[in-house]
Structures are given as C-alpha cells and as structure tokens.
C-alpha cells in the first residue's frame, strides 16, 4: 500500500516499520494495546489489509475488535496480488472478518464488505468503499456486539502473540483512516 501511494503521510496514518514495532513490543502487551487504541482515536473507518498471514496475527484481530467496539466501520481489502518491491505476489489468506463473530454467531464479514485491490480497482474505488462502509455502520450503530475472545491477546505472558512481527510483503495489517468521511457516499447515477 505504501508503494501504491495510497498513504500521503505514513506518520499521520500510524504506519510503523519493523524496528519501531520491535521497540513497542519490548515495552509489553499493555503498551501495544495502548498504542493501538491511541491510533484509533479520531477515526471512523478501519481498512483491514488482508494478505496471506493477516488472520493469524493476534494484534490484527485485536485492532479489528477494538475498531468495531468503538464504532468504526470496517472494510476488508485483499492485497495478496499487490506486487512487493521485488515484483512478487503472495498467496491469498483467510479473511479475518470471517473469523470474528458477533454474539448472534454471524460473522463480521456479514456486515463489512471485502474487496480485492487489483480486481476491484482499489486505487479508484477505495474512497467510495470507505464512504459506503461509514454510512452502513452509522445505520447499524450499536446493533451488533462482538463475541468475547481470549485467543487474540493473552495477558498472562505472550499468549499467541509472535515474538516478532511476521514478514510483511506487502504490509498485512489494518490501515486506519484518521479522518471522518468528507461527504456522504453516493453512486455515480445519484451524484450531481
């Protein structure tokens, strides 16, 4: 996503590199949780970048849960076909929005759409998808509660949290859009 020039100012959107992540990780679980929650402040939509290993990352699942709990809309974005700096692509991964369930046992993917960056023309459509997700979330505000889970982050030691972040070719964590949508979403036919 960095290479696609989708993030004008990486610092503004909470993008960190492996060295920064390792430093944060050494500070412990509670520091990571505080950092994630601080990154969500002032946001309304969380875009989850879905690569080969995304669903296996406990901190990604934690951020998805916290995003929903605070009222953010979610958009899944498959990026396995986005070429890395070496021109390589990855294999598709499991959509974490299909793994997280509401208390009524429906999945988060049932109310949060997922798109493919390449086949759905992400460069042209990402803004529309974000606007659409924001509007849909506003309509259903407070209607669905996510099931509690102990597998995402375990406070008694390291739990399922990897000692280091897994390789990210390309990055496979959520991108948090730090601003509310500028105007309500509309389709081409209804916009003037």
Q: Distance (Å, rounded) from C-alpha 51 to C-alpha 60?
A: 11
Where is pLDDT greater, at 182 or 9? 9
Three-state SS for 162? coil
Please, which residues bridge with residue 97 across strands? Answer: none
| Structural domain contains residue 148 | no
| CA neighbor of 58 nearest in space, from 142, 163, 143, 178 | 163
Instruction: Assign 152 a pLDDT band (cuts: 50, 70, 90).
Output: low
Q: Domain limits at 39?
A: 10-143+161-177
| Structural domain contains residue 173 | yes
- Predicted confidence at residue 18, as pLDDT, reads 64
| Structural domain contains residue 14 | yes
The predicted-structure confidence for 135-151, as pLDDT tens digits, reads as follows 999 888 667 889 887 65
| Structural domain contains residue 184 | no
Q: How many domains does the chain have?
A: 1
């Amino acid at each position: 996503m960095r290479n696609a020039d989708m993030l004008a100012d990486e610092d503004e959107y909470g993008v960190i590199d492996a060295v920064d992540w390792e430093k944060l990780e050494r500070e412990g679980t509670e520091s990571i949780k505080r950092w994630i929650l601080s990154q969500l402040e002032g946001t309304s939509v969380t875009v989850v970048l879905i690569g080969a290993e995304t669903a296996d990352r406990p901190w990604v699942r934690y951020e998805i849960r916290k995003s929903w709990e605070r009222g953010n809309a979610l958009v899944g974005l498959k990026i396995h076909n986005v070429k890395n700096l070496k021109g390589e692509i990855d294999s598709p991964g499991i959509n974490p929005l299909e793994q997280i369930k509401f208390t009524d046992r429906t999945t988060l993917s049932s109310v949060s759409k997922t798109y493919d960056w390449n086949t759905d023309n992400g460069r042209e459509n990402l803004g529309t998808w974000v606007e659409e997700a924001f509007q849909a979330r506003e309509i259903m505000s407070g209607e669905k509660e996510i099931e509690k889970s102990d597998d995402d982050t375990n406070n008694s030691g390291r739990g399922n949290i990897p000692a280091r972040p897994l390789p990210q070719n390309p990055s496979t964590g959520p991108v948090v859009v730090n601003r509310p949508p500028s105007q309500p979403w509309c389709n081409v036919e209804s916009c003037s």
